[in-house]
Amino acid sequence: MRIDLHSHTTVSDGTDTPDELLALARAIGLDVLGVTDHDTFDHLPAVRLAARREGIELLEGMELSCEFQGKSVHLLAYGMDPENADLLEEMALVRAGRTDRLALMLERLGELGVPVTEAEVMAQVGEAPSIGRPHVADAMVARGHVASRDQAFRDFLADDGPAYVPRYYVDLHAGIELIHAAGGLAIIAHPWGRSSREVLTEDVLTELVRTRGLDGFEVDHEDHDEADRARLRALADALDVLGTGASDHHGAGKPTMQLGCNLTAPPVYAELLRRLASRSTR
């Protein structure tokens, strides 16, 4: 059984439509796919239809933009109620924060000698309900300023980059509580990748499990080397939480993260479903 629990479509910052993503999942032999677009449930109707058509078991999900000790932390939500009012309200605030900072971000890029217009960014947005830095990066690629999204982030758009503009994030503790209140499981994405590594130490992850009920964290991810994976897997086992694996597929936007490059072990997925069922009965 081949299980990838973290992927994105054009409804957020992926480059594959829901139909294309599920067709690709079938083509590479996936049995289960988690689709986790950023801060929205707008992808769910289309991916449900595509999953049924392709014969793929769908784990409904979302990736919530959170913050902890001043650093961005991504929180995967699985199996929650997509109509939960409190969760929807927070997600709307996150999306508005992305859109509201666009003008200042473009102003800074212009000052840095890499001008991009709002129209050029909007041409990259497609079906997404909010504008993210990957859309700005794609516009920079299209304009010929950079060769890839990675270069755009590395040189300009990263959290410590010269064109970065802060925005609204959900407090990590509040995010876990919101997901639980909506009936879902909360799993931290790539905890030791990017800037989150600085704040998500083993002690912090342990505290989040023990005091906030964190349900797990990604272990097998391209941002983690083999030593990281071994330590995270041992920690997940010691805490009796879910240690998942996933590609974090974005299509052409992140070519090193191809669908199926990391997988969740079937026993871990079975335990995830058991815990979801237990939560729903409560």
Name beta bridge partners: 74: 65
**Tell me, what amino acid is at 239?**
L
- Which pLDDT score, from 0 to 100, does residue 281 have? 54
Which of 80, 69, 50 is CA-nearest to residue 208? 69
**Distance, CA of 45 to CA of 48 (rounded, Å):** 5
**Distance, CA of 137 to CA of 235 (rounded, Å):** 35
Is there a single domain that holds both residue 221 and residue 89?
yes
pLDDT in tens, 235-245: 999 999 999 99
pLDDT in tens, 200-236: 999 999 999 999 999 999 999 999 999 999 999 999 9
Is there a single domain that holds both residue 175 and residue 265?
yes
Residue 29: Cβ-neighbour burial (10 angstroms; 0-12, 13-18, 19+)? exposed
The yes-or-no verdict on residue 282 having pLDDT over 60 is no
Is there a single domain that holds both residue 208 and residue 128?
no
- Which pLDDT score, from 0 to 100, does residue 126 have? 80
Q: What is the CATH number of the domain that holds 215?
A: 3.20.20.140
Q: Is residue 28 part of a domain?
A: yes
| Mean of all residue pLDDT scores within the chain | 95
Find all residues with CB under 8 Å of 111, minimum gap 6, and list them: none
- Which pLDDT score, from 0 to 100, does residue 130 have? 79
Report percent pLDDT > 70 for the chain. Answer: 99
Q: Mean pLDDT across the stretch 98-121?
A: 95
Is there a single domain that holds both residue 128 and residue 236?
no
- Which pLDDT score, from 0 to 100, does residue 120 have? 95
The yes-or-no verdict on residue 86 having pLDDT over 90 is yes
Which of 183, 199, 179, 185 is CA-nearest to residue 70? 199
Task: Look at 20-24, 98-102, 228-232 and tell me which has the smallest mean pLDDT.
Answer: 98-102
Q: Is residue 54 part of a domain?
A: yes
Is there a single domain that holds both residue 117 and residue 185?
no
pLDDT in tens, 118-170: 999 999 998 788 788 999 999 999 999 999 999 999 999 998 899 999 999 99
**The total number of structural domains that make up the chain:** 2
- Which pLDDT score, from 0 to 100, does residue 119 have? 94
Q: Which residue has the tokens 């939480």?
A: 241
**Distance, CA of 268 to CA of 248 (rounded, Å):** 18
Confidence of residue 280 (pLDDT cuts 50, 70, 90): low
The whole domain housing 127 covers 102-157
- Cα 89 to Cα 39, 40, 86: the distances in Å are 10, 11, 5
The alpha helices in 216-265, defined as continuous H runs, are 226-239
Q: pTM here? A: 0.91
- Cα 30 to Cα 54, 145, 251, 260, 263: the distances in Å are 10, 36, 16, 7, 9
Last residue in a domain, options 157, 175, 192: 157
Is there a single domain that holds both residue 25 and residue 153?
no
Is there a single domain that holds both residue 198 and residue 249?
yes
Last residue in a domain, options 131, 157, 183: 157
Is there a single domain that holds both residue 153 and residue 46?
no
Is there a single domain that holds both residue 88 and residue 113?
no
- Which pLDDT score, from 0 to 100, does residue 252 have? 87
Count other Cβ atoms within 10 Å, centred on residue 210. 10
Alpha carbon of residue 281 to chain centroid = 27
